[in-house]
């Protein structure tokens, strides 16, 4: 577990901000990690970002930290998916299809061609035609 004190600084006049070179050092640190160690660090960064936001909601530092952590977690996830695809492409393709259907359902998008027709309201008008 790293201390984020080496990546951020607090200036009484300007508030919290990344230390000089802090973003690059944090990215390099996260890039060295994988698996549970990476997950633990990402959680620490997100928790620290949440505390920063509570301390100073006007600061954008928490957004930068969340972005750095999310980028590294996404890169790691993509690498794992590529390795899985190399091992068994058909199984991974099925999993990706299931994942896409779940995401579409979560977002309220149609998951089947039968839902592609315009929905109508009780008056028989298309929803898009309503004022």
pLDDT digits (tens, 9 = 90+) for 1-28: 457 878 888 888 888 888 899 889 988 9
Least confident of 4-18, 33-47, 91-105: 91-105
Nearest partner of 2 among 27, 17, 20, 10, judged by Cα: 27
Residues 45-78 pLDDT 10s? 988 888 888 888 888 888 888 888 888 888 888 8
pTM for the structure as a whole = 0.58
Nearest partner of 23 among 43, 4, 37, judged by Cα: 4
Task: Give the model's pLDDT for residue 122.
Answer: 54
Residue spans per domain, the chain: 1-91
């Amino acid at each position: 577990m790293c201390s984020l004190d080496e990546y951020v600084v607090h200036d009484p006049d300007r508030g919290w901000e990344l230390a000089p070179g802090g973003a690059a050092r944090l990215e390099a640190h996260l890039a060295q990690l994988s698996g549970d160690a990476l997950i633990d660090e990402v959680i620490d960064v997100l928790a620290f970002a949440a505390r920063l936001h509570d301390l100073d909601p006007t600061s954008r530092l928490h957004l930068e930290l969340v972005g750095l952590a999310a980028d590294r977690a996404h890169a790691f996830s993509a690498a794992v998916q590529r390795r899985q695809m190399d091992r068994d492409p058909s199984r991974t393709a099925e999993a990706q299809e299931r994942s896409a259907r779940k995401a579409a359902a979560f977002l309220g998008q149609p998951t089947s061609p039968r839902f592609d027709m315009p929905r109508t309201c009780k008056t028989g008008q298309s929803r898009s035609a309503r004022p």
